[in-house]
Chain A
Amino acid sequence: MLIRKPTDIPFSEVTPQSLYLRRREFFQAAASGALAAATVLAPRGAGAQTGPKLPNVRKTPYGQGERLNSYADVTGYNNFYEFGTGKEDPAANAKDFTGRPWTIKVDGRVKNAGDHDIDSFIKPYALEERIYRLRCVEGWSMVIPWVGIPLADVINRLEPEPGARFVEFTTLNDARRMPGLNVPVLRWPYVEGLRMDEAMNPLSILAVGVYGEALPGQNGAPIRLVVPWKYGFKSTKSIVRIRFTDSEPRNSWQVSAPREYGFYANVNPEVDHPRWSQATERRLGEFRRRPTEMFNGYGDQVARMYAGMDLRKNF
């Protein structure tokens, strides 16, 4: 298989030091709130990493040189409505969540259908670290060092049948372990999907860890999808089912608001959310907004999959 070398970090990714300094000057000039405001924007501490390190994680060139968001930010601020709709709810409500024992059901148009135990499911593959940018549809972003396995390798081993044109992912739907499921904010279980070529793209991974450790509950333990050129909601967490199908899956956000969220959800600064602009984003830990990049900066690896498609219609 052709493994494309990840793009180098364009200079536009680097925060100019002049801006950083300007921010400080600005706040120092302000009267009593100055110190407070500067503290607000200072990077938060690395946070406690408590779990054991995952063994034999191979480094990769993906995202080398990116400034990582802290462990505290990555594991303390995110959307995972199964644990509540507040940004800090997942970390608070997933404290006791464990990803073992865990079974992944594989079904649909695939040869190796059946129930797979998580450990035997991931055992055949070498773990890789992939540093990816994550762009939330809400307009904020992070840089996260995932640990995972290429989705393409998993799919090849599962041997989809010729009619399999899409892959559908389903999140755990267990209200006793995920209190947010008691509130019908979305149609549960959470469902997402990819076209087969998207799923087979070398960028697509199933992550089992972050910052070298097993995924905590709030980040989608024990196994989640990561597709960094799409808005974060495409990256299904706590996967219990992988289904191969011939028709486009109806993803939960599209069901919830079809005018606002589509199937593709590619990061695209030119196609706005109906209620807000997608042209800029705030990288957590930075003060000024930065321009959002087409396909979240992964165009070299993914743009050709959408050649000839109207991305305004297929948002």
Chain B
Amino acid sequence: MKGFTTFRRLVFAAALVPAAALTYGAFTNNLTANPIDYITDITGLTALTFLTLSLTVTPLRRLTGRNELIKLRRMLGLFAFFYACLHLSTWVVLDWFFDFASMTSDVVERPFITLGMVTFLLLLPLAVTSTAGMIRRLGKRWQQLHRLVYVAAITAVVHFWWVVKADFREPRLWAVALSVLLGFRAWWTLRTRLPSRS
């Protein structure tokens, strides 16, 4: 148990590395010639990384039988939301500098931006209801609500796919990872619900 607490702390520290690296890069003027695009890319990718990692917890738990892994899930999900907030604020502050008229028309007219915004709005209630008190208060409905994370993960990958010009290797990789993680759940559900043949 003690070992797992240390592990959790290490994961927490590791999750702060991308933000620290961006901050360091900003101070040392080392974020490429186009820092705003670079920050946008890194925060978005990191958000997607944590969102995907949070979806690996349940399959890993089922496969390894190590139930303490569940203690990582909220932290990973909240880091996904943290980086999604940075991603969105980069767009609002650095990219458009509060030009709400242009941002609104982008959300309405550009499907990839629409999906980015949808993803954020899906993650928002999940982050808000992540406290112990909310989990208690919502009871069974908490789990139903938090199934929205599957939708958010799909919209996040499509959001990434639609922004790419020609090199689809990276979004394809995320799509494959997500398919495996969602596929595992479908398979597990079928396996446990259907009567066993043996």
Contact = CB atoms under 8 A, between A and B. Distances in A.
Interface of A: 33, 35-37, 39-42, 44, 69, 72-73, 76-77, 81, 85, 87-88, 138, 140, 183, 185-186, 253, 256-257, 275-277, 280, 282, 284-285, 287-289
Contacts of B163: 275
A72 B33 contact: yes
A6 to B, nearest CB: 26
Contacts of A88: 32
Contacts of A42: 29
A85 B95 CA distance: 22
Sort A-B residue pairs by CB-CB distance and give the 9 closest, nearest first: A77-B33, A36-B26, A73-B33, A85-B167, A40-B35, A40-B26, A185-B167, A185-B166, A36-B27
B110 A275 contact: yes
Contact of B166 (A37, A186, A285): A186
Contact of A41 (B23, B35, B167): B35
Given A257-B166, A275-B110, A275-B112, A140 B29 contact: no
8 contacts: A40-B39, A42-B29, A85-B166, A87-B34, A183-B167, A275-B112, A277-B105, A284-B33
Given A185-B167, A257-B166, A275-B162, A39 B27 contact: yes
A287 B32 contact: no
Contacts of A44: 29, 33
Given A35-B27, A140-B37, A87 B32 contact: yes
B39 to A, nearest CB: 8
B68 interface: no
Interface residues of B, number: 30
Nearest to B38: A87
Interface in B128-182: 162-163, 165-167, 169
A183 B110 CA distance: 29
B31 interface: yes
Given A276-B110, A277-B110, A288-B97, A40 B31 contact: yes
A37 B26 contact: yes
A224 B32 CA distance: 24
Contacts of B167: 81, 85, 183, 185
Given A85-B166, A275-B110, A277-B110, A76 B34 contact: no
A195 B94 CA distance: 39
Contacts of A256: 166
A88 B31 CA distance: 11
A69 B33 CA distance: 10
Interface of B is mostly: helix
A285 B29 CA distance: 12
- Which of B31, B37, B110, B165 lies at the interface centre, i.e. has the most chain A CB atoms within 10 A of its CB? B165
B111 interface: yes
B166 A77 contact: no
Given A36-B27, A81-B166, A275 B32 contact: no
Nearest to A41: B35
B60 interface: no
A280 B105 CA distance: 13
A138 B106 contact: no
A40 B37 CA distance: 11
Contact of A40 (B29, B96, B106): B29
A36 to B, nearest CB: 4
B124 interface: no
A42 B167 CA distance: 30
B16 interface: no
B36 interface: yes
A88 B32 CA distance: 8
A35 B1 CA distance: 42
A73 B27 CA distance: 18
Contacts of A69: 33
Nearest to B25: A40
Nearest to A287: B97
A277 B23 contact: no
B31 to A, nearest CB: 6
Contacts of A36: 23, 26-27
Contacts of B102: 280
A35 B29 CA distance: 11
Contact of A76 (B26, B33, B106): B33
A200 B83 CA distance: 50
Contacts of A285: 33
Contacts of A85: 166-167
A132 to B, nearest CB: 17
Contacts of B95: 289
